[in-house]
């Protein structure tokens, strides 16, 4: 038995979301059908507004309602530091920490030859232009993920920045708080030993 067309279309729509399989999409579709009409309207308006009212900051690439974004527009932030991250959600994670008061630059991806992603496919050109135009920036902190693609991207960017005599640093990687050494993989242990600190 096939689902009625409106339900089938709704399931297909949910299937387009990352990490959503057939069962979850079906469950979400039926949950949506059981929602109050006003909740469904509010949900659909939120989807449309998110697509229509948001754009990327022309300076850092962060998602924003206004250009420049609130972080780039905030002159009280440390203008000498820029953290380079892979995705917008990484900015949000670092901001939750409430310790870093510098600026950001969002790459919107990483270098991945397997997926056909080269330097022209991510937000590197605008980073280099930004560094050339802003003499206040003294340090670039590379905060890409500790994956082969993230490491390759960090190395590539550091080589491009080196001639500009701007200090380039990398986030420390190693053992997570509360983890056991015996369960850590080799790369995590290597980074933990390499990035050890004096106590």
| pLDDT digits 0-9 by tens, 56-100 | 999 999 999 999 999 999 999 999 999 999 999 999 999 998 889
What is the pTM for the complete model shown?
0.82
Nearest in space to 85 (alpha carbons), one of 114, 107, 53? 107
Beta strand 81-85 pairing with 139-142: parallel
What whole-number distance in Å separates Cα of residue 158 and Cα of residue 140?
9
Which DSSP symbol is given to 117? B
What whole-number distance in Å separates Cα of residue 84 and Cα of residue 106?
6
* 111-129 confidence digits (pLDDT tens): 998 999 999 999 999 999 9
Domain ranges for the chain: 76-199
Dihedral sign computed on CA atoms, order 6, 7, 13, 16: negative
The CATH classification number of 76-199 equals: 3.40.1360.10
């Amino acid at each position: 038995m096939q689902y009625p067309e409106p339900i089938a279309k709704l399931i297909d729509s949910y299937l387009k979301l990352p990490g959503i399989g057939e069962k979850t999409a079906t469950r979400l579709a039926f949950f949506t059908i059981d929602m109050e009409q006003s909740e469904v309207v509010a949900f659909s308006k939120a989807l449309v507004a998110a697509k229509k009212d948001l754009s990327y900051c022309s300076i850092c690439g962060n998602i924003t309602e206004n250009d420049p974004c609130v972080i780039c527009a905030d002159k009280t932030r440390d203008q000498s530091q820029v953290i380079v991250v892979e995705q917008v959600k990484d900015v949000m994670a670092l901001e939750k920490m409430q310790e870093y008061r510098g600026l950001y630059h969002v790459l919107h991806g990483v270098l991945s030859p397997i997926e056909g992603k080269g330097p022209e496919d991510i937000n590197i050109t605008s980073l280099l232009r930004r560094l050339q135009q802003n003499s206040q920036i003294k340090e670039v902190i590379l905060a890409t993920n500790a994956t082969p693609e993230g490491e390759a991207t960090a190395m590539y960017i550091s080589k491009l920045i080196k001639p500009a005599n701007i200090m380039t640093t990398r986030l420390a990687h190693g053992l997570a708080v509360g983890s056991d050494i015996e369960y850590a993989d080799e790369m995590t242990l290597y980074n933990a030993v390499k990035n050890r600190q004096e106590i």
